Structure 1
Amino acid sequence: MLGTAHPVQAEGAQPSTILPGAVSMHMGFGDGYKRATLSWESTPLWSYQFSGRGGRLDLTGELGVSYWWANKDRNPRNAWQLSAIPMLRYWATEKFYLEAGIGATVFSGSGFAGKNISTAYQFGDHVGAGYQITPSDRIGVRYSHFSNAGIKRPNPGLDIIQVTYTRKF
């Protein structure tokens, strides 16, 4: 299956001469904190079209920068984060998708919102769903969990639910 897959371009999409892909904005809410993210998403690096009405599976790369801020007296009150996430996106129809990804992230410190997350390096686990509004615009919802996978204790993790908007160019 993987050996027969090849990159595909959505029907009617125009290739970009600058930097193909998409830009997405995410706004998330967690337990006493918020997160705003700006990401660049690659065009599909790999794609597999299932036979019949089985849908399509795409693999894309997602590079992002996020700003986190905590409510009231939780210290440290803010943090920056860089992320690199390979995302698998299953298109059940031409409009509806499910997505999942696991990747590396780096925080600006090892503490945030009253939590000692022990390491600046964290793994990000993501699951979501969305809808293609137009050939260039997509909206979705995503749940993300960040933790150091037990590399060092304590490892409380950070959880966030996000609303996403993506614009292809």
Structure 2
Amino acid sequence: MWRITSLVVLIILSFSPLADEIHFTGAYSTDQLRGIRAGYRVTDLPVELPTWIGSPKLHVEAALNHWQDSDNTADNITALTISPILSWQITGTQRPLFVEAGIGGSYFDKTKISNRRLSTQFQFEDRVSLSWQYSHNSKARIALGYTHYSNADIKRPNDGLDFFWLSWALPF
């Protein structure tokens, strides 16, 4: 776990000139998998999206994920992910609440963890979350979300992975 943590810190520091915020996440799966995620998000993209989808903001997020089987900590898997994220502000300006969704790609170091067989190292990352800026003095946020990883039946078996997660994001 020390090696993974060191690698995450190095990746974040090397990309920090591009990033607008970093995030740290804890995840859990009903398949008895638990994990961590650390990454960064670029938020200042000069893209205007159509108003018919509610004028969300577009972000790009990259992260390193590491999960392990709760019953066998030697059984683990790591993934590098990158996803465009759409973010809709749904409440006020003092302490806003956001709905966020995205579909991106992931590269896994293995194709099996616990009883889950993924078949391919490439997986799609589908996610949805609620993100809350909990203080009007800071733009830091906490988020509660769900993520699904799957290869969209590119190859079978396609067991996929599902995670519920809690994240803390800190803008620069």
TM-score band, normalised by the shorter chain? 0.7 to 0.9
In structure 1, what is the equivalent of residue 41 of structure 2?
Answer: 41
Q: Report how far residue 71 of structure 1 moved.
A: 1.8
Q: CA deviation at 1:19?
A: 3.7
Contact 1:90–1:97 (8 Å) recurs in 2: yes
- Deviating more after overlay: 55-64 vs 156-165: 55-64
Q: Tell me the amino acid that sits aligned with residue 78 of structure 1.
A: N
- One of 156, 160, 166 as aligned partner of 1:163: 166
- The SS at the match of 2:153 is coil
- Post-superposition Cα deviations, 1:121-146, rounded to whole Å, max 9, x if no partner, equal 10010001021123321001010000
Residue 26 of structure 1: how far off its partner (Å): 1.0
Cα deviation 1:26-84 (Å, max 9, x = unaligned): 1110021012000100023235697xxxx85100000000111112248x710110000
Would you say how many aligned residue pairs link Structure 1 and Structure 2? Answer: 148
Q: In the alignment, is the contact (CA less than 8 A) between 2:19 and 2:40 conserved in 1?
A: no
Distance 1:73 1:39 in 2: 26
How far apart, CA to CA, are the structure 2 residues paired with 1:63 and 1:37? Answer: 10
Contact 2:97 2:130 in 1 (8 A): yes
Bigger Cα Rg: 1
TM, length-normalised to structure 1:
0.80
Q: Contact (CA 8 Å) 2:117, 2:160: kept in 1 or not? A: no
In 2, the alpha carbon distance for the partners of 1:18 and 1:85 equals 19
Which stretch of the first structure deviates more once superposed, 55-64 or 138-147? 55-64
In structure 2, the CA distance between the partners of 1:58 and 1:152, relative to structure 1 (3 Å rule), is: same
- The DSSP-based 3-state class of the residue aligned with 1:34 is strand
Alignment partner of 1:128 is 2:126: no
Letter in 1 for 2:86: L
Match of 1:90 in 2: 88
Q: Which moved more, 1:79-88 or 1:128-137?
A: 128-137
Say if 2:78 is the partner of 1:80.
yes
Q: Which residue is 1:140 aligned to?
A: 143
Structure 2: segments with no counterpart, 5+ residues = 1-15
Looking at structure 2, the residues matched to 130 and 56 of structure 1 have their Cα atoms a distance apart, in angstroms, of: 17
| 8 Å CA contact 1:142, 1:161 repeated in 2 | yes
Say if 1:44 and 1:58, in contact at 8 Å, map to a contact too: no
Is the CA contact 2:124–2:151 (under 8 Å) kept in the aligned structure 1? Answer: yes
Give the Å deviation of 1:20. 4.3
The Cα of 1:166 is off from its aligned counterpart by: 0.2
Q: Which runs of 4+ in 1 moved over 4 A?
A: 47-50
Identity percentage over the alignment?
28
Unaligned 5+ segments in structure 1 are 1-16
Partner of 1:7: none
